[in-house]
Amino acid sequence: MTDPKQECERLLNALLPFAGEMLEQRGAFAPYGGFLSPEGELFHVGVKQDERPAVVVTALRESFREIAAQQGCSVLGLVSEVVTHIPQLDWMCEAIHFSLDHATGYSVEVFMPYQLVEREVVFGDVFSEIGKHDLFH
């Protein structure tokens, strides 16, 4: 069995490029996600878009619960744009937010602060915190 942290990192690395491309092309992206099957196969997940990101996140969470119940998966990942507080610098910034939950209970929230400089994404220091493990249920 693969290490839960490593599987979460694998999913994060697979999901990140789309966010970067959309930020560079459009300056924003709608929430999306993905998962790894128990065999390690990668799947991307999207839902019908809505102007309200909260509606899209809710729909993705519902889709994840169905996928976990029907197909099974080892890792679920939800990607969204947020404005967050950077603890070390005590200031707010835009970030790509990854909620990553593993079937074993491992859960992490990863924040990748960024700035758009002449339509190019420049990332700051990544930080994380313990996740809520709420994508499976």
> Where is pLDDT greater, at 47 or 120?
120
- CA 92: distance to chain centroid? 19
Structure-block tokens of residue 75:
């890792």
The whole-number pLDDT of residue 56 equals 86
Query: pTM (2 decimals)?
Result: 0.91
Give the residue-averaged pLDDT of 49-54: 74
Query: Does the pLDDT value for residue 40 go beyond 80?
Result: yes
> Which residue, among 56, 103, 105, 48, has the nearest Cα to 78 in the 3D structure?
56
* pLDDT tens digits, one per residue of 56-90: 888 888 988 988 888 889 999 999 999 998 877 77
Average pLDDT, the chain: 90
Q: Binning pLDDT at 50, 70 and 90, where does residue 53 land?
A: confident
CA distance 125 to 113: 7
Give the residue-averaged pLDDT of 93-113: 96
Give the residue-averaged pLDDT of 22-27: 93
The whole-number pLDDT of residue 1 equals 52
Give the residue-averaged pLDDT of 15-41: 93
